[in-house]
Structure 1
Amino acid sequence: MNEQSLLARSIRTILMAGVSSAFIAVPALAQDQSSNTENQNAEDVERIEVTGSRIKRIGELAPTPVTVISGDSLIDAGVNNVADLLNDLPSSSVGISPETSNNTIFASGLNNTDLRGLGSERTLVLVNGRRFIGGSPGSSAVDLNNIPTAMIERIEITTGGASAVYGSDAVAGVVNIITKKSFDGIELDVSTSQPTQSGGEDEFASFTFGSEEGKATFITNLSWARQKQIKGSDRDWYVNGPVTIANPENVDNTDGIPARVVYAYAPQSLRFYSRTVDFFGPTGHYTFSNDGQLRPFEEGEVLPAGPPGTTNTNYYIGEGDGYSFIENGYLRTPLDRVNFSTIVNYDINRDHALTMEVNWANSQAYGESSPAFFGGLPIYADNPFLPQEAQDEINAAGGVVGGYYLAQDFGNRQYSQDRTTSRIALGLEGSLTDTWFYNAYATVGEVQADTRWYGEMFEQRFYDAIDAVEVDGEIVCRDEIARANGCLPLNIFGRNQYSQEAYDYVATDAIREAEIGQTVFGATVTGDMFMLPAGPIAAAFSAEYREERSETLPDPAMRAGLLFNNQSQPLSGEFDVSEASAEFSIPLLADMEYVQSLTLETAYRYMDYSTSGTDDAWKIGLNYALNDDFRVRLNRSKSVRAPNISELYAPPGQTFRSLSDPCSQSNIDNANPKYQDNIIANCRAQGIPEGFEPSDEWKGVTQPGFIVGNEDLVNEVAKDITVGVVWTPSFVDDLSLTVDYWSFDMENMIQYFSGPQVVQYCYQASTLDNAFCPLIERDPNNFEIVNYFEKPVNSASSETTGVDIEAAYGFDTEFGAFNFRVISTYLDKRQFNSTGFEEDLQVLTGEQSRPRWKGRFITDYKIGDFSAVLIGNYRHATVADRDWDPEVNNYNEIPSYTTWGLTARYDITSGLQVRAGIQNMFDRIPPQTPFAYDQGAYYDLRGRRITAGINYRF
């Protein structure tokens, strides 16, 4: 069979499979789909394996919808990280990204994708059909930073449940990254992306070389990428973000007046936490100059007072001494990556081949937040570091006041992440007969993930050091035991007023070391069993054994809870699973009137987990082809997800959350009427009196709590349905339309309840006898919440349905070739119930994280050595909360959001290509509403940016 015939058959395979050709490079596909050597016969070469099935097929309708993205699409999109492209697809959402992880201490810099918005843990990422090691301890979610983009041939995405074929985690679908298998020559690639505002620059360099001569072929790549930080002060739309207040005109929750309104678009600060200590005395609000002298606290325009119990006047806009949200805001985590990858293939003979994949990656990122902060800091009048004027003011207040301090002298708290991933995969594949093939492999992966904290301090040492007195003419720490342990007095009334020795006694860095390990052994045989009148029954039989393990070892000071805002215990957990699966493709009818083909697709997988026990997954489907133009597929499956190590074994780890106490009278007055009676009854049952309000100090700081695992968790279960049609009319060249309806019904979902949720569900329940109230601790004297526990349970369920629509059309003209592609997703229903109680069912369809419509439009144009691609990404208008009513606020509506990018390439010679582009060409900023303006998971925070690159191959 000649090359032209082979290519034609490959194109037919893609179209008949209903695969989106929106980004596909067909010639590369025709070459790389083969798992056999170039000396095999043409029938073997054309037999391919499409993601969603282990069966190698010839020109059949794929059992599940598959979208294929070519490696070149990364270049067209102006990105150098596969996550940046996946997260723009309508079927996907951001799991974790540098735009969302700055304040997530152990996750800064991670890049996870999230199919259908069902969670990164429910999206299985494969590399060449094999599992890849997770990116963070205790989690199975793959860090896409570890996949070098220069090695990507294509990405195949199926968004139906695929546990029966691939095992746990494939609930929402599978992202299968197919790498280049060989390369002949040397290739250099360099690119840059420069925003028109400072911050967020990207740089990339790649070196690839390989050989395709003889029995041994290989490809090796070394690449480096750097993305720079975006501070809040780098973006004018963030500096002048929306400021909301409790509406002074609001009376109650029945007057038709919104409780909160947008007051201004301006920098906002808190009226406390100066860099030199501030306090309220009998005659005013004071702070200290840099040299330690008392002066009045300076502030801008104080926000107008709201209804009783609200805290508007705790904030001001403009310049001042208080805590600046803009100055301490960060929109994008800086990230440096180095990737090394090599793939070696060796043909033992015409029927058998060895493969080896080696991956090594290092990523370094850091999150950054404000310096340590202290509220209610006891300041005594006899502190000898205080000037006389301050001592007099504090004596007039009774000898002690509560101070507020932002420890700027200790620097911003930074969370440095250093992750090193090593992986090797060995495979043996080939043919047993003309129609039976095998693939056996073993992979071993390790991740070393170290987190280091800067700008930290020993909290109790700090309290001891600032409480100074004068003894025998010498300034010392007041507490004698602390003095005996080396305490040195620390002067925080001003800037840099202390000795280096005193600073060293209090300041420290801390580290947490973490290790992840994965070992997988697997084998698959696939082929034709026997003939039926409509054709042969094709089958695939697989077996797999997998071990996962994770360990963390926090700094001794962290384990002892001695550091500000950080307490963590070691994690150590592991599990193993043995699995066996069988998949069959059974032709029922063929070459009949109105039935070109009708095929039954079915699969079953048995799983035995050392943690959650035995379980199974299955799928059954029908593929029907009326003719070459019109095809239909139906699929029904059960998928499972086993709890991961972190969910099972997480030790108590300290976290901090901003809480709103439902028992405060102001919250009761504005509570949802549906729950108001329950909240009142539960609060009174705990002895909390009417009119209770937490102190301003409690409201002004985040509250401590603990995250804990649960070894009693069981597997999540998902039932999904896919019904699709594929239309490729023979009377119109290069036109295709695919429409797929999909539905996910999930039960026993593992749900972490954050501190705010624990508090909310406790008091919204019909009685205090629920799963949440035991997770809350209150001070018996003032009733303020002092502790809470965040623990996962199998309590949640969800239902998600929607429609995917993909269309493609291309044509040639005398002045070039044009291709148009549209990929869109319509979300029909998204319901979620975190507790299992009927009254807690939430309809989330059309909220910000789940818009009704998402779309991607691609136009590419080529003439001679020049090509250009125009890409548009669209998010439909949403709301912040579907439970909203006019009493809540006046800013629930979030407008639609569209960005456009243009990239052009020109081949100067056969080996030299230059490219340039402009992304977010109209400089579209996030919607300027309180719930949207800083959300990097949904909107472009970088703004307009110019991209340029050069590629040289020889």
Structure 2
Amino acid sequence: MAFLDNRRSATWLRRMLVTTALTGVLAGGQALAQAVEPEEAAPAETPMTTGDEIVVTASRTATNGLQAPTPTQVIGAETIEKQGVTTVMEVLNQNPAFKATRSPGANATNTSSPAQATADLRALGGQRTLVLVNQSRVVPFAPASNLGVPTTTDLNLFPTLMIERVDVVTGGASALYGSDAVSGVVNLIMKKRYEGVEITGQAGISQRADYATHRLGFIAGTGFNDDRGHVVLSADYSNNDGMDDIYTRDWGREEWMIVSNSQRTVAGTPGFGQPAFILSPNVHNSLGAGGVITSNIAGLANMTFNPDGTIRPFQRGSIFGGQVMIGGEGESIIKGVAQVPDVQRLTFYGSVYYDFSESLTGYVEGGFSRSRGFLDGIAIRLASQAIARDNAFIPTQVRALLPTATASFNISRIAYDMGKNYYDIVNETPHGTVGLEGKLGGSWKWDAHVSYGVNNYSAITHDNPISANLAFAIDAVRDPVSGNVVCRAALAGNPAAAGCQPLNLFGAGNFTAAARDYVLGEGSSKVKYDQLTAAANLVGEPFSTWAGPVSVAIGGEYRRETEKLTADAIGSANGFLTAGNAVPYGGDFNVKEGYVEVTVPLARDVPALHSLSLNGAYRYADYSTVGAQSAWKVGGTWEPIEGLNIRVARSRDIRAPAINELYSPGSNVRNAVTLVVDGVNKTANIPQNTSKGSLDVGPEYANTLTAGLAYRGTGGLRGLGFSIDYYKIKIEDAITNLSTANIASLCSSGDSYFCGLFSYGPDASTADPNDRIHTGLTAGSLNVGAFEQEGVDMTLSYATSAGFLGEGGRYSIAASGTYILHAFVDSGTGAAPVDRAGENGWTNLGSIPTFRGNLSQTIGTSGWELSLQTIFISKGVQDVTYNTLPTNTINDNRVPTVAYFNLFGKIFAGGDRKFELFWAINNLLDKDPPPTPYTILNFPTNGQYYDKVGRNFTIGARARF
């Protein structure tokens, strides 16, 4: 593979693959469907069955995807095995309908949950995608964060070897499954029967000798007591060493960032007359590794400190804004910050099913998972730190130039020399289900279960700057008695400063180890989240029409969820400078709900009406928090000829607020706020909390329409399947938290509700006792946001024999794609909704490329198999609002088209393929991610869509006994 290291040498390979790439674009696709043999070909939405009846997730009364009015895609175990992935998330996020919003490779700065793996359909947030296991809920993952991090299911819980298939319902399903099924459902179907033992081991590494991965797993099962009972056990261990900072990659060393051009209106400066924002390489921090004097003092302004304390002019870049600049000295603000965190994962899962009789089966299933994420964080950043004139560490050269009247001056500094904070997050989840399944005679079946799960979350932040300690340590003076340098607060006897060690910021490496240890601390927080669920379902055919039996499903469910967050004293008081603060709280809710679903056939086996049926469902839920709620769905399927299914569905779905959206205490800060009070524009420095939950927040509502067709080939077209579905989803009363600036603007424009969120008191600056001024702000979760997304999903599958390849020769293709027509986001600030379709950057909520496609082609025989996967992401823009106003112009808003190629292979040996050697080359052509910077965190590319690792290799083996 040495020739692949030279990109120019890979030109011939690019040419060879370009036809495949174009095919992927036209087909719109991804390898979503379960691989099938040519004689058993089926479309992506029809699960393969070996005899047992399968109920698809889109309907409790339908036994295949074509009978359900809501589109369903299926990922089979073969697809998961083929790619050698360690979690099902890795395959889901290749599906164009998903966004990798919270996953290790995408959200390296997710300090509260770096190992988290979340399913996010339609890029509407993981909290709006319901994840089930065998159609039942599992305990969610709730990190220690005071709002801002959604409560979702962590896909790390489940060993991939245990997964039979994954049903993906790409439409609302609250009527069938309740809250959270707003943008869709992911249902993991676990294996209930397995004979023998399968062991899998694999290892991998990137071309740059990082991103090392190891995995070892097994699944074992057997029948017992004359095959009346079946037991299946599985375990999976994996670890990934992650990827270090941007300087480990060529594209990272280019240091791309978007810089706010603060000089565009200043005549005579390099940025004058240019756009308000500049997308540029060679962007460095403007804070200075040794400190920079930012006060406008003659002879000192813009001076930086050498390690020996002497000063020199700081080499400032040509254009600067905020804490970054184009050019100049220094490095990126995120030097040392991991691009992909280290992740360890250990998962156990098992089940026992026992047939007490032909009409009664009992079962127990569940498991335990433990994931651990390590994340290298950021260095201390001081944008404007006041230094008192009598600070003992001020170099003699600087002190001599300070004007007599200057009581203090300001410096900036980025403390690479003090190291960086890092995060150790552990997530443990035991969970289990006990249930019964039975037959009542005829077509009637029933099931009931009780499940319980606990999510135990623990976070430790190391070398985390403590705000109060940092302030005490910086303010260093000389003790008039001893002559030693001490902290001013400690000298004054302030008990809060006990043990303070003075910190020298002037020049890199001039602090003492004692000062560093005093400034940096360790924070900890824990969350216990438990979920108890009891549910029962009854399905049958009470009578028949002229077209066939009417199917009915009814059921009820009780669910209770409880959350308790605890934290260390410093974090509880918001005392850490960067991250790791978590204010303790607790809360709970319960819900009692019932549903009914009915499928009524209207015609069968008549001209142009091979079949016609209507389907409807209704759910009533009584929440202890938001009261009575209802959801419904109505739809129909028409099969004019055998194999061609035309479907339409309309649903009303809900999402009840999560515990953190109700009970989180948020974080208190104090800043200046400008507000119109009694017709007068006033500014006051007030306490404010806009990140808390609210017991007044209500549920979200969604209206979803899907319409399309699916075809399953028959006769001469056997082996072909495709579908195309239009969808439109509109979410109203979306739960969000507005910023202080948003709330003040809405109040000042005359909105009395938002004015009521402020507290008021007498204005001491006037003599009139009736004059008022704002004195505080408390604003919790609000139902003010809205989303509306409209698009088209496409799938294609085809399988045929290929005898020319040898014995068992075959060829298959599987593809899917999603084209976004509109993706409106209403932030609730009063501004007009913004259509984020075609926005490939990651700064804004709801941003999504116009088109994503994924295509997989496989050829093979009984002895080998080779698959080529093409992942396509359409061109777009950084931000759709750029260049819409004179104040938000940018020099380059374009994001280019990107295509990735992944190559997978298998070699089989032994009878019935008992032994298998598999390998994978991901990002075969070592395609660099395009510059799509996130200006808030200063990361240069969007890992939610683009690969940051580059070419990487996996090799492994499976043995079946």
Would you call these one fold, judging by a TM-score over 0.5? yes
**Aligned counterpart, 2:771:** none
Whether the 8 Å CA contact 1:302–1:313 is kept in 2: the answer is: no
Question: How far off is 1:380 after superposition?
Answer: 3.5
Distance across 2 between alignment mates of 1:239 and 1:786: 48
Q: Work out the CA distance in 2 between the residues paired with 1:482 and 1:298.
A: 38
Residue 790 to residue 847, structure 1, CA distance change in 2 (3 Å): farther
Single out whichever of 107-116 and 613-622 deviates more from structure 2: 107-116
Q: Paired residue for 2:182? A: 171
What's the counterpart of residue 727 of structure 1? Answer: 711
1:295 matched to which residue of 2?
A: 311
Aligned pairs (5 A) from 1:612-761: 612-653=626-667, 686-687=681-682, 707-730=691-714, 731-753=716-738, 755=739, 758-760=740-742
**Is the aligned partner of 1:822 residue 2:815?**
yes
Deviation at 1:543, TM superposition (A): 0.7
For the Cα contact (< 8 Å) 1:380–1:394, is it kept in 2? no
Residue number among 935, 943, 958 corresponding to 1:951 in the alignment: 958
Structure 2 distance, partners of 1:786, 1:922, is 59
2:411 counterpart of 1:411: no
Q: Alpha-carbon deviations, 1:674-706, whole Å to 9, x = none?
A: xxxxx9x999953579xxxx9xxxxxxxx9975
Q: Structure 1 residues 787, 238: CA separation in 2 closer, same or farther (over 3 Å shift)?
A: farther
Q: Does 1:841 align with 2:823?
A: no
Contact 2:560–2:589 under 8 Å retained in 1: yes
Whole-angstrom distance in 1 between the partners of 2:154 and 2:878: 29
| Map of 1:473 onto structure 2 | 482
Deviation at 1:630, TM superposition (A): 2.1
| Distance of aligned partners of 1:576 and 1:654 in 2 relative to their CA distance in 1, 3 Å threshold | same
State the shift of 1:283 in Å: 1.9
CA distance in 2, matches of 1:850, 1:857: 19
Aligned to 2:916: 913
Asked if 2 retains the 8 angstrom alpha-carbon contact of 1:903 and 1:916, the reply is: yes
List aligned pairs for 1:182-581, cutoff 5 A: 182-214=193-225, 215-230=228-243, 231-245=245-259, 246=261, 259-260=275-276, 262=278, 264-266=280-282, 268-275=283-290, 282-284=298-300, 285-290=302-307, 292-296=308-312, 298-299=314-315, 302-304=317-319, 311=321, 315=325, 317=327, 319-320=329-330, 324-394=332-402, 398-408=406-416, 410-466=418-474, 467-475=476-484, 476-479=486-489, 480-482=491-493, 486-492=498-504, 493=506, 502-565=515-578, 567-581=581-595
Deviation at 1:408, TM superposition (A): 4.5
How far residue 542 of structure 1 moved from its aligned partner, in angstroms, is: 0.8
CA deviations over 1:705-752 (Å, ceiling 9, x no partner): 752111111111111111121233433221122111112122111123
CA distance in 1, matches of 2:124, 2:646: 26
- Aligned residues of 1:410 and 1:456 also touching (Cα < 8 A): no
State the distance in 2 between where 1:22 and 1:136 align: 29
Instruction: Output the amino acid matched with 2:890.
Output: N
Alpha carbons 1:381, 1:392 under 8 Å: kept: no
Look up the equivalent residue of 2:354 and give its one-letter code.
Y
Call closer, same or farther: CA 1:248–1:423 in 2, change over 3 Å. same
How many residue pairs get matched? 874
Describe the superposition over 1:634-668 as per-residue Cα deviations: whole angstroms up to 9, x where unpaired. Answer: 21111111111111111123689xx9x999xxxxx
The answer (yes or no) to whether the contact 1:600–1:623 under 8 Å persists in 2 is: yes
Deviation of the 1:28 alpha carbon: 15
Secondary structure (helix, strand or coil) at the match of 1:465 reads helix
Residues 323-373 of structure 1: per-residue CA shift (max 9 Å, x gap): 732414432222111111111122212222121112111111133322233
C-alpha distance in 2, partners of 1:278/1:786?
A: 34
Q: 1:577-622, CA deviations, whole angstroms, 9 ceiling, x for partnerless residues?
A: 0011111111122222221221111111110000000011111111
Contact 1:640 1:716 in 2 (8 A): yes
Which residue of 870, 887, 896 maps to 1:872? 870
The equivalent residue for 1:11 is: none
Question: Tell me, what secondary structure is at the counterpart of 1:638?
Answer: strand
Residues 303, 312 of structure 1: 8 Å contact kept: no
Secondary structure in structure 1 of the residue aligned to 2:217 = strand
> Which residue of 1 is the match for residue 7 of structure 2?
none
Distance (Å, rounded) in 2 between the aligned partners of 1:622 and 1:447: 40
Do 2:30 and 2:94's aligned partners in 1 also have CA atoms closer than 8 Å?
A: no
- Offset of 1:851 from its aligned partner? 2.1
User: What SS is found at the alignment partner of 2:140?
Assistant: coil
SS of equivalent residue, structure 1 residue 646: helix
Kept in 2, the 8 Å contact 1:598–1:623? The answer is: yes
User: Relative to structure 1, is the Cα distance of residues 790 and 238 closer, same or farther in structure 2, using a 3 angstrom cutoff?
Assistant: farther
Q: 1:35 maps to what in 2?
A: none
2:191 maps to a residue whose letter is K
Q: Write the letter of the residue equivalent to 1:885.
A: N
Tell me the C-alpha RMSD between the 2 structures.
3.6
Task: Measure, in 1, the Cα distance between the counterparts of 2:52 and 2:948.
Answer: 44
SS at match of 1:331: coil
The 2-side partners of 1:270 and 1:98 are apart by 26
Displacement of 1:261:
5.7
Structure-1 separation of matches of 2:777 and 2:203: 46
2:769 matched residue in structure 1: none
Change (3 A) 1:603 1:759: same
- Asked if 1 retains the 8 angstrom alpha-carbon contact of 2:304 and 2:312, the reply is yes
**Residue aligned with 2:838, SS:** coil
For 2:695 and 2:634, how far apart are their aligned partners in 1?
A: 33
**Structure 1 residues 431 and 28 mapped into 2: Cα distance closer, same or farther (>3 Å)?**
farther
Letter of the structure 2 residue corresponding to residue 634 of structure 1: V
1:22 and 1:808 in contact (8 A); partners too: no
Question: Per-residue deviation at 1:470?
Answer: 2.2
User: 2: distance between equivalents of 1:780 and 1:23?
Assistant: 70
Aligned to 1:922: 925
Amino acid at match of 1:330: A
Give the counterpart letter for 1:141 in structure 2. T
Q: Provide the secondary structure at the position in 2 that maps to 1:574.
A: strand
In structure 2, C-alpha distance between the alignment counterparts of 1:704 and 1:409, rounded to whole Å: 34
1:854 and 1:876 in contact (8 A); partners too: yes
Partners of 1:542 and 1:581 within 8 A in 2: yes
Q: 1:699 maps to what in 2?
A: none
Contact in 2 for aligned 1:832/1:844 (Cα 8 Å): yes
Question: Which residue in 2 is equivalent to 1:795?
Answer: 784
Distance across 2 between alignment mates of 1:546 and 1:217: 29
Match of residue 33 from structure 2: 23
In 2, are the aligned partners of 1:22 and 1:821 still within 8 Å (CA)? yes
Unaligned runs of 5+ in 1: 1-18, 31-42, 306-310, 664-678, 695-702
Structure 2 stretches lacking a partner, 5+ long: 1-28, 41-48, 766-773, 841-846
Provide, for residues 507-534 of structure 1, a one-character-per-residue CA deviation record: whole Å limited to 9, x for no partner.
3211111111000001111111112221
1:602 aligns with 2:619: no
Is 1:113 aligned with 2:119? Answer: yes
1:442 and 1:519 in contact (8 A); partners too: yes
Q: Which amino acid aligns with 1:158?
A: V
Higher RCO, 1 vs 2 (CA within 8 Å, ≥6 residues apart): 2
Displacement of 1:804 in angstroms is: 1.4
Q: Report if aligned partners of 1:360, 1:421 keep a CA contact under 8 Å in 2.
A: yes
Distance in 2 between residues matched to 1:75 and 1:917, nearest whole Å: 11
Residue 90 of structure 2 corresponds to residue 84 of structure 1: yes
For residue 789 of structure 1, report the CA deviation from its aligned partner: 6.6
